[in-house]
Structures are given as C-alpha cells and as structure tokens.
Amino acid sequence: MFLLPVSFSINADYFFLQFTIPIDNGDSVKNAEADSQRTLYPYVTGTSIVAIKYKDGVLMASDMGGSYGSTLRYKNIERMKAIGKHSLLGASGEISDFQEILRYLDELVLNDNMWDDGNSLGPKEVHNYLTRVMYNRRNKFNPLWNTLVLGGVKNGESYLGMVSMIGVSFEDNHVATGFGNHLARPILRDEWHADLSFEDGVKLLEKCMRVLLYRDRSAINKLQIAKITEEGVTVSQPYSLKTFWEFKAFNNPTAGAEGSW
C-alpha cells in the first residue's frame, strides 16, 4: 500500500496536499471517505462553562484557557460572547468551531436586524437555531465539536439552555458543560435557589469554578464572569481566584514514609 498525491493547491504560505489511499475495488464512495475532510477529533479546546439563572437574568462563568491536547497553549480566549441584544453564548470544546458558530450567528443577527421591524431574536430562538445547526451537522457526520450554553433575558423572562455536539438540548435553572457537569452541577443542585442576588450568584459560581480549578486538569486560574440582564450583556475583566495549598501533607509529602531518595 502506498500513498498517491491526487491534487495540489498552493495557499499563501503552505502546500496543501490531498491523498487518497488506493482501495482494492476502486470504489469511488470508499475513496471519498478515505480523504474525508470531516472533523475527527478536536484540536484546541476550552474546558467547562458554568451558568445559573439569578434574580435579574443569567450569570455565566468560564476560564480563559485554550488547551492543545495536554499543552496549555492559549491563555486569553474569551469563550463567552454576546449574541444580538438578548443572548449570551458560552462554548466549551473546539475553539475554531466556536468561532465558526459565531460567524453563523453574526449572519443570523444581521438578517434579523435588516428586517428593521422592531422585533429581535430572543434567547429561545437562538437556542433553537443552534440546536438545529448542531443536529444537522451531526446528521452529516461532520459535527461542530462544542457544547454550547445559551443564556438570555427577553421581556423579563430569563432563559438558560444547553446544546451538545450531537444536538441534545434542554433548558434548566443551572447548566454546566464538560467537567462542570460532574463537579459543579451537584453544588448547584444543592445550593441554587430562585431569585439569587447578584453577589450570591457570583459567590456560587466562584465556588464551582474553584472546585473545577482544583480538579480539572485543563482549567486555569484566570476566569471571567458574564452577566446578562434586560439591560444587556457585561463580561467582566479577567481575574483569578484565591486557592489554598498550605495543607500539612503538601509541605512534607514523605513525612509518613521517608525514603532514601
């Protein structure tokens, strides 16, 4: 078995080669699959997003890291963006797919604005649009490798929902993606209640983010908290959480079993 270059295209700085692997019966369908351009695995990924409904709207927290496998490659990625007037989108998973989704949503919001009819897309509509996009990409076996969190307020009603990369979606009072689902959700189930004040909401999110910081390998200590209310979206400046490492056992780890090296 040997590889044959089939087509060349030169693009600015680099060569881009496409290979087909010769298959016994030369079936064109199989050939097409062999040089598939579909997503196989994610490259640069963001970790969890945690979000809760509170008294005035929705609060969302994420860190600013972008991991390239086990390397922490990027430390300044904003994984939460405002969509239109009423929504806030947070994404975990493949960062480039998130940027692609932002392009789709840009077009959606632009078309919505061009109608100029006084109506604007609410969070429910954006959530539904995203669910359809994710589901249809999954149907074509070329998923957008993200888990999205969509929060917003319109006409006094808060909305918070989530979509996974294969199109599973739901809404709830609190959501978390990735590791957050395992570590943060139990804390939220215990301590969330309706009509949280802003300060209590932030404290609750910080509690969740701290646990994630301690226990999630891909989390970094640089987070943002975004707030969306009837007035609009504000994304905070990045800041870090206080952590505690002065446990006695950490100071002298071999205290119980001294070795010779």
Number of DSSP helices (H) and strands (E) in the chain, helices first: 6, 15
R_g (Cα) of the chain, nearest Å: 22
d(CA 225, CA 80): 9
d(CA 129, CA 167): 11
- Catalytic residue positions, numbered: 39
Nearer to other proteins, 154 or 185 (CB): 185
Interface positions with other proteins (CB under 8 A): 1, 3, 21, 33-34, 36, 40-41, 131, 135, 138-139, 141, 143, 145, 162, 164-172, 181-182, 185-187, 189-190
Nearer to other proteins, 6 or 21 (CB): 21
Q: How far is the CB of 73 from other proteins (least distance, A)?
A: 21
Nearer to other proteins, 173 or 221 (CB): 173
Cβ–Cβ under 8 Å, residues 233 and 78? no
Task: Give the distance from CA 192 to its chain's centroid.
Answer: 22
Cβ–Cβ under 8 Å, residues 110 and 103? no
Q: How far is the CB of 117 from other proteins (least distance, A)?
A: 24
Report the DSSP beta bridge partners of residue 111: none
Q: How far is the CB of 222 from other proteins (least distance, A)?
A: 27
Q: How far is the CB of 80 from other proteins (least distance, A)?
A: 21
Nearer to other proteins, 141 or 239 (CB): 141
